[in-house]
A = this chain, B = another copy of it.
């Protein structure tokens, strides 16, 4: 057995202790020899490396923690490459949240124009990582937890030969929460969960072979689910909380508009405090505060994926994967978030069939937006970027899309080199020229 190396690109992330925690808990099943943390921020890198070493040491786990600012060095020879990057940092996220609000559109890390801008910044970087993986660790699996996870997985599967599994803790957390609210242990239930990343529904809950979807809805309502109860009864489905940005658009917008801080601003404060705590040489475990940071399920889903791959388990997991016919209504190369059987060859989607019409329209509309966004991110075409934004169900009109796009491109100019000067000459009067602004 060759030694196991895991690379963490963006190892200075505040999430890293989650990963360490999982690696400690599962060390007997995945005895990692080297955890190679790579980050562009040397200070955060050293803080997280220190904490990671203390956590491993306290747990008696012999995993060696190495650090580097050289991505290729981290990747070389790895079995898994965990990606936790944030191009432009928290300040870029805050811009993604603030700018759409000016145009009367929700500002959110992954949904709407904010997710669009994040995708434009992040996809080229992930494709660079994928190229390095193909060259330096061709058998490795990219364990992606970087958002927007569906878009990034689609970009990498379409434009790279690298192996990638696109994770999100959402499906795990949401399905478990509903069962927990029902008082049903997961092993007695069958949950039909379909859609795209952050655009998904639980459309059926079977317990002991009996359809208990209506009970599941009532349990979710009682547990304070973020979607209106009568709506869920009408849909006969439990939408994921991110769907409140669609179903409860005005209310969510109002919340965002009147909030003293965006989520990014909150997280920035929390992260500063987390970094302070992480730097404390006496800390050797996840601090309580990390729960407020979010992403609590990261450890669970990342380890589950790595273990299923490593041990060739053939285990059912909800991940982001190219469709290939699983959902009738979507193209083959569209990445969807569905139940897969995960083994050493990665995720294999299980057949879904047709989406219910109440879900189909929104899924197809958002997927079209996603496909255009991926192509815009790869080509740097202004025209495609505009088509993408226009195709988004939350963008009301062309009159809004143009200035919004222009402001997003200008605000993130330094992270969008692919758009620099490359606007199509055919795009007409509203061509945005980053070089002349």
Q: Which residues of A are at the interface with B, using a C-beta cutoff of 8 A? A: 139, 187-190, 206, 208-209, 214, 228-231, 233-236, 246-251, 311-312, 314-316, 324-326, 328-329, 331, 339, 341, 343-345, 348-351, 353-354, 357-358, 360-362, 364-369, 371-372, 375, 383, 386-387, 390-391, 393, 396-400, 402, 426-430
- Cross-chain contact B190 with A343 (CB below 8 angstroms): yes
Closest chain B residue to A400, Cβ basis:
B250
- Cross-chain contact B233 with A428 (CB below 8 angstroms): yes
Cα distance A206–B343 in the bound complex, in angstroms: 11
Cα distance A229–B430 in the bound complex, in angstroms: 10
Pick the contact of A250 from B344, B375, B397 — CB < 8 Å?
Answer: B397
30 contacts between A and B (CB under 8 A): A139-B209, A187-B311, A187-B312, A206-B345, A208-B344, A209-B344, A214-B426, A228-B398, A231-B398, A233-B427, A235-B387, A247-B390, A247-B398, A250-B397, A250-B400, A251-B397, A324-B351, A326-B351, A329-B364, A331-B354, A341-B341, A350-B351, A351-B351, A357-B372, A358-B368, A358-B372, A358-B390, A358-B391, A361-B364, A362-B391
| List of B residues within 8 angstroms of A402 by Cβ | 230
| List of B residues within 8 angstroms of A344 by Cβ | 190, 206, 208-209
Main secondary structure of the interface of A (DSSP, over half): helix
Cα distance A393–B247 in the bound complex, in angstroms: 11
- Cross-chain contact B387 with A234 (CB below 8 angstroms): yes
| List of B residues within 8 angstroms of A368 by Cβ | 357-358, 360-362, 364
Cα distance A383–B314 in the bound complex, in angstroms: 34
Q: Give this chain's copy count.
A: 4
Closest chain B residue to A322, Cβ basis:
B351
Pick the contact of A357 from B387, B399, B429 — CB < 8 Å?
Answer: B387
Cα distance A427–B230 in the bound complex, in angstroms: 7
| List of B residues within 8 angstroms of A325 by Cβ | 325-326, 328, 351, 353
| List of B residues within 8 angstroms of A328 by Cβ | 325
- Cross-chain contact A234 with B427 (CB below 8 angstroms): yes
Pick the contact of A248 from B187, B362, B399 — CB < 8 Å?
Answer: B399
Closest chain B residue to A396, Cβ basis:
B249
| List of B residues within 8 angstroms of A367 by Cβ | 361
Question: What 3 A-B pairs come out closest when comparing CB atoms?
Answer: A361-B368, A364-B364, A361-B365
Cα distance A24–B236 in the bound complex, in angstroms: 43
Cα distance A324–B234 in the bound complex, in angstroms: 27
Cα distance A413–B397 in the bound complex, in angstroms: 33
- Cross-chain contact A348 with B345 (CB below 8 angstroms): no
| List of B residues within 8 angstroms of A187 by Cβ | 311-312
A403, chain B: closest CB distance, angstroms: 13
Closest chain B residue to A387, Cβ basis:
B358
Cα distance A228–B400 in the bound complex, in angstroms: 13
- Cross-chain contact A230 with B429 (CB below 8 angstroms): yes
Cα distance A188–B236 in the bound complex, in angstroms: 42
- Cross-chain contact B312 with A314 (CB below 8 angstroms): no
Closest chain B residue to A227, Cβ basis:
B398
Closest chain B residue to A313, Cβ basis:
B187
Cα distance A329–B362 in the bound complex, in angstroms: 14
| List of B residues within 8 angstroms of A233 by Cβ | 426-428
Cα distance A251–B427 in the bound complex, in angstroms: 22
- Cross-chain contact B312 with A190 (CB below 8 angstroms): yes
Given contacts A250-B396, A250-B400, A331-B354, could you give 13 more A-B pairs where the C-beta distance is less than 8 Å? A190-B343, A209-B345, A230-B429, A236-B383, A246-B397, A324-B351, A325-B351, A329-B331, A350-B350, A358-B390, A358-B391, A361-B365, A361-B368
| List of B residues within 8 angstroms of A393 by Cβ | 361, 365, 393
Closest chain B residue to A311, Cβ basis:
B187
A307, chain B: closest CB distance, angstroms: 13
| List of B residues within 8 angstroms of A383 by Cβ | 234, 236
Cα distance A233–B386 in the bound complex, in angstroms: 11
A363, chain B: closest CB distance, angstroms: 8
- Cross-chain contact B350 with A360 (CB below 8 angstroms): no
| List of B residues within 8 angstroms of A357 by Cβ | 368, 371-372, 375, 387, 391
